[in-house]
Structure 1
Amino acid sequence: MQEEIFRTKNASIAQCSLSNSFFLSYENEEIAFSLCDLYSFKKKIMNLNLMDLLETDAPDLEIVYLPHCDRFLMLNLHQILQFRELLNGTFDILALNSSIQKILRRNVFNF
């Protein structure tokens, strides 16, 4: 059972609690990630140098290899910014959920 964590106009990330997997839905495809793979993917996207893409003599596409398979994404500047929004939102929600769980556990043991 997948529960959506975060959605942007062009992509979404959902989590399956049964398999502890995350699913990226992008361009009519679904790509599965473990938490470590999703974090690695986020790190790759965040480390892309956007200034290089803005240079006139540089190619305006970046090839991003997915950390867990032989697939890759070819992303332009706009798509990179969209993935940054998606991944930042996803990890913000996961952090918020973790904080809420800690508070709830602490309050249960204080009764």
Structure 2
Amino acid sequence: MAIGDLSVAAGVSGTHMAQRFKELIGVTPKRLARTYRIAAAVFAIDPAGPIDWGDLAGGAGYVDQAHFDHEFRAFTGLTPTRYVEVRRRFLREHPGHALDGRPLSAD
């Protein structure tokens, strides 16, 4: 559901809904949606194989790879390519680690 549709369904203005949402949840609806979208994209990355960034970006709902790259860096502090390099190195250095197959956090 689009965020604008959510406020219409709730019968309040978009601004009011965003303010109340942030009071109750801690982030705006848009920020939460962005967080879920980038998380889904990160979980879709298979560091063991080749990655088609355009397909991954489109599959996650980004209009193009440039928007995906910008959002990825904003959330992780790394470019998508650098993130995968770090993740692959981690998996090589720590085979069988509990994080094997899971994304690395930004910290």
Normalising by structure 1, what TM-score? 0.29
Bigger share in strand: 1
